[in-house]
Amino acid sequence: MSQIETFYEVMRRQGITRRSFMKYCSLTASALGLGPAFVPKIAHAMETKPRTPVIWVNGLECTCCSESFIRGAHPLAKDVVLSMISLDYSHVLMAAAGHAAEAALEEAIEKYKGNYILAVEGNPPLNEDGMFCIVGGKPFVEQLRHVAAGAKAIISWGACASYGCVQAASPNPTRATPVHKVITDKPIIKVPGCPPIAEVMTGVITYMLTFDRLPELDRQGRPAMFYGQRIHDKCYRRPHFDAGQFVEAWDDDNARKGYCLYKMGCKGPTTYNACSTVGWNEGTSFPIQSGHGCIGCSEDGFWDQGGFYNRLTNIKQFGVEANADQVGMAAAGVVGGAVAVHAAVSALKRAQKKTQDKVEG
Amino acid sequence: MTPGFEGSFLGAADKISSLAIMECKICWTPYDPAMGDDTRQVMPGTAFLDLPDDWSCPGCSAPRAQFLVREDPGAPSAAVMAEMEARTKALVADFTEVFHSRMRDLPMVNQALHVQAVGFQPYEGGFLGVLVAPWFMNLVLLPGPERAVLKVGTKETVTFPSGAYEFMHAAREMVGPYMACALFSPMGDFTSQLQAVEVARAAMGELFRVENRAETDRAADIRALREAELAPVAEPDLAPSRRKLITGGLGE
């Protein structure tokens, strides 16, 4: 295993003075809400603690994932980027460009072989040998395979990397393919959404760094703590759904009263994401709260699931973590104690609050 | 003595009220305080507990302690149970009305099901149970008088042994304010009412079991660990002292 440098060593190597380093530490302290007394402690941690190298590659995408990520507030994205990981390669955030950038990528791969986390934003198109997306003069799919070979784990950011998103929508002329169908021999964690919520992105990455393992995943490979809950179940308009109070037309009286948007095509009942619990822009709002139905952007093939305003009709699913015996229960109509208990326990686990306010125990 | 499968009142005077109707566990002869007992010329209106000490079953002479409670309208729990029944009945009536007036022609509704309240039990002055309907299954908390009534859609966390659950405040005309936590919706995977009720009943049991806790994002744990990393490092005491100087550190 190659020696991983500490944050301080990297900064020194990049020609940053000790004075600037201490100034940075005091900025971090204020960003974390800590007093000036913490500055030397942060400096100490940064001088001694090795960071986890992260390589962030971009394929066919729109950069909305990066845009979302840098707006993370809990924990602060800049805290994550600057003090927990070393973002050794990222088109969007790195200062280097051109050959220097590609050289940095090769250097990082070589140096941290088997130890780095690969974050993929966007997906590779496979048609015409991948010529529809060229990075550094070569097809992106080649870069992806090359970088993935030495990765410890892969994070698929966004609907593009997880499921294909708009570029993979029918008829998919470039044959854009999600990452897990190209890289099959590495642990992949999907963080879908268009884009994913900032706090979910930083939450996933800090979890992986802190506990040095992937969080619990659902059957589709998404972190269960953020994608285990249906928008519909945690929606603040849910009481209106229960009571059969629906918006019947845009801007009608019921819309002003904030009734349920199911009849206006809301995809909340089939969408698993943390929007209705975590919210967007530091929890300010989320689509339903601003009066528009959920479009289901974190679900597989959401561009091919009919219009945004078509009412859901065929919704027969227990949820993404439905397993064989639940399906069996639905098919055969078995009424068995164990099967019922299993269904009940998964429903309860889904319903539980997933954000932790205080340390347990 | 452990009574085992005893069931009879065994002289536990504090457990029954003066209105309790008792029943012999051997020959099922009842004693109703409203009727008294002709055999021993006990006047109507005499509570079971006020019967003479040597009173025994008029039917089979079994001792007084061998009587069972048939019903006890005067017990404090009876009033609670009556209130619970009234409130769950209103709940079911209300949502049945919603079904007939607004939901029944929607495609997402499971026509095999009907509205039913399952497993309601007293909880913190209110009542907790599961409401099964053709379009949802919710944990429902009919709040007690001391729980604050908040705006419809406000979330409040209620903690059970299996974890913290976010309940949403809501209100209906017949039910009044209530709180609900969604378990299933839509209900397309249930093939029969029996099956839905079975799952609802299981949910009520599993709610109180610690092992059903799911993983959270552990944001607080992560923060605590990060702060511990930044915790002060034990600084060696560098201040010179007379003792250190003379003993060269050996006297410590």
Q: Which residue has 């949820």 as its token pair?
A: A319
Q: Which residues of A touch B190 (CB under 8 A)?
A: 330
pLDDT band at A1 (very low <50, low <70, confident <90, very high): very low
Taking the Cβ of residue B124 and every Cβ of chain A, the question of whether any pair is shorter than 8 Å is answered with: no
C-alpha distance from A170 to closest chain B C-alpha (Å): 27
pLDDT band at B2 (very low <50, low <70, confident <90, very high): very low
Searching chain A, which residue's CA lies closest to the CA of residue B97? A243
Homologous superfamily of B78-247 in CATH? [NiFe]-hydrogenase assembly chaperone, HybE (3.30.1460.40)
Q: Is residue B251 over pLDDT 60?
A: no
Taking the Cβ of residue B233 and every Cβ of chain A, the question of whether any pair is shorter than 8 Å is answered with: yes
**What are the Cα distances from residue B59, in Å, to A116, A174, B56, B62?**
86, 92, 9, 8
The B163-172 sheet, strands edge to edge? B116-123, B126-133, B136-142, B176-184, B163-172, B155-160
More confident residue, A124 or A208: A124
- The confidence score (pLDDT) of residue A77 equals 59
Closest partner residue to B153 (CB to CB) among A239, A314, A343 is A239
Prediction pTM value: 0.76
Non-local CB neighbours of B194 within 8 Å, separated by 6+ positions:
A335
Q: Which residue has 């004075």 as its token pair?
A: A19
Provide the 10 A C-beta neighbour count for residue B47.
15
Nearest residue to B92 via CA among B151, B158, B138: B138
Q: Is residue B190 over pLDDT 80?
A: yes
Packing angle of the helix pair B193-206, A337-351 (nearest 10 deg) = 60
- The confidence score (pLDDT) of residue A242 equals 92
Geometric angle at alpha carbon A25, from A24 and A26, rounded to 5°: 90
More confident residue, B120 or B240: B120
Enumerate the β-bridge partners of residue B42.
B37
pLDDT band at A320 (very low <50, low <70, confident <90, very high): very low
- The confidence score (pLDDT) of residue A121 equals 93
Taking the Cβ of residue A74 and every Cβ of chain B, the question of whether any pair is shorter than 8 Å is answered with: yes
Non-local CB neighbours of B148 within 8 Å, separated by 6+ positions:
none
pLDDT by residue (tens digit) across B171-187?
A: 998 899 999 999 988 88
- The confidence score (pLDDT) of residue B5 equals 53
Would you list the domain boundaries of chain B? 8-71, 78-247
Q: What whole-number distance in Å separates Cα of residue A27 and Cα of residue B79?
A: 63
pLDDT by residue (tens digit) across B23-58?
A: 998 899 999 999 989 888 999 989 988 888 889 999
C-alpha distance from A31 to closest chain B C-alpha (Å): 13
pLDDT by residue (tens digit) across A261-283?
A: 999 989 998 899 989 888 888 88
Q: Is residue A340 over pLDDT 50?
A: yes
What domains are there in chain A, each with its CATH number?
Answer: 51-227 (3.40.50.700), 231-357 (4.10.480.10)
- The confidence score (pLDDT) of residue B250 equals 67
- The confidence score (pLDDT) of residue B93 equals 94
Taking the Cβ of residue B167 and every Cβ of chain A, the question of whether any pair is shorter than 8 Å is answered with: no
- Domain B8-71 belongs in CATH node 3.30.70.980: no
A25 is in an annotated binding site: no
More confident residue, B141 or A35: B141
Q: Is residue A106 over pLDDT 60?
A: yes
**Cβ–Cβ < 8 Å for A294, A270:** no
More confident residue, A133 or B252: A133
Nearest residue to B98 via CA among B90, A356, A92: B90
Q: What mean pLDDT is reported for chain B?
A: 84
- The confidence score (pLDDT) of residue A294 equals 93
What part of A 30-59 touches B (C-beta under 8 Å)?
34, 38, 41-42, 44-45, 49
Q: Is residue B96 over pLDDT 70?
A: yes
- The confidence score (pLDDT) of residue A282 equals 80
Taking the Cβ of residue A340 and every Cβ of chain B, the question of whether any pair is shorter than 8 Å is answered with: yes
Provide the 10 A C-beta neighbour count for residue A23.
13
Searching chain A, which residue's CA lies closest to the CA of residue B99? A244
Q: Is residue B98 over pLDDT 90?
A: yes
> Rg for chain B (alpha carbons), in Å?
30
- The confidence score (pLDDT) of residue B13 equals 72
pLDDT by residue (tens digit) across A224-243?
A: 888 888 899 999 999 999 99
Residues B186-206 as b or e (16 or more Cβ within 10 Å = b): bbbbbbebebbbbbbbbbbeb
**What are the Cα distances from residue A232, in Å, to A91, A197, B183?**
36, 17, 11
Mean pLDDT of B81-95: 92
Taking the Cβ of residue B237 and every Cβ of chain A, the question of whether any pair is shorter than 8 Å is answered with: no
Taking the Cβ of residue A354 and every Cβ of chain B, the question of whether any pair is shorter than 8 Å is answered with: yes
- The confidence score (pLDDT) of residue A104 equals 84
Q: Count Cβ atoms within 10 A of the Cβ of residue A49 and give its class: 0-12 exposed, 13-18 middle, 19 or more buried.
A: middle
A64 is in an annotated binding site: no
Q: Count Cβ atoms within 10 A of the Cβ of residue A102 and give its class: 0-12 exposed, 13-18 middle, 19 or more buried.
A: middle
Phi, psi of A297 (to 5 degrees): -70, -15
Closest partner residue to B102 (CB to CB) among A74, A244, A316 is A244
Q: Which residue has 């072989």 as its token pair?
A: A113
Nearest residue to A233 via CA among B155, B144, B238: B155
Taking the Cβ of residue B42 and every Cβ of chain A, the question of whether any pair is shorter than 8 Å is answered with: no
pLDDT by residue (tens digit) across A32-82?
A: 556 677 677 767 766 776 777 888 899 999 989 888 888 776 655 566 666
Closest partner residue to A335 (CB to CB) among B153, B194, B220 is B194
Searching chain B, which residue's CA lies closest to the CA of residue A259? B153
Q: Chains A and B: how many Cβ contacts under 8 Å?
A: 202
Provide the 10 A C-beta neighbour count for residue A122.
25
Name which of A11-20, A145-154, A185-194, A309-318 the model is least confident about: A309-318
In the three-class reduction of DSSP (H, G, I as helix; E, B as strand; rest coil), residue A87 is classed as strand
The B30-31 sheet, strands edge to edge? B30-31, B21-24, B67-71
Mean pLDDT of A89-105: 81
A165 is in an annotated binding site: no
- The confidence score (pLDDT) of residue B94 equals 94
More confident residue, A339 or B45: B45
Taking the Cβ of residue A146 and every Cβ of chain B, the question of whether any pair is shorter than 8 Å is answered with: no
Instruction: Provide the percentage of residues in chain A whose pLDDT is more than 90.
Output: 33
- The confidence score (pLDDT) of residue B1 equals 42
Q: What mean pLDDT is reported for chain A?
A: 81
Is A340 close to B195, i.e. CB distance below 8 A?
Answer: yes
Closest partner residue to B136 (CB to CB) among A34, A242, A318 is A242
pLDDT by residue (tens digit) across B194-237?
A: 989 999 999 999 999 888 787 777 777 777 777 776 665 555 66
Q: What whole-number distance in Å separates Cα of residue B247 and Cα of residue B240?
A: 12
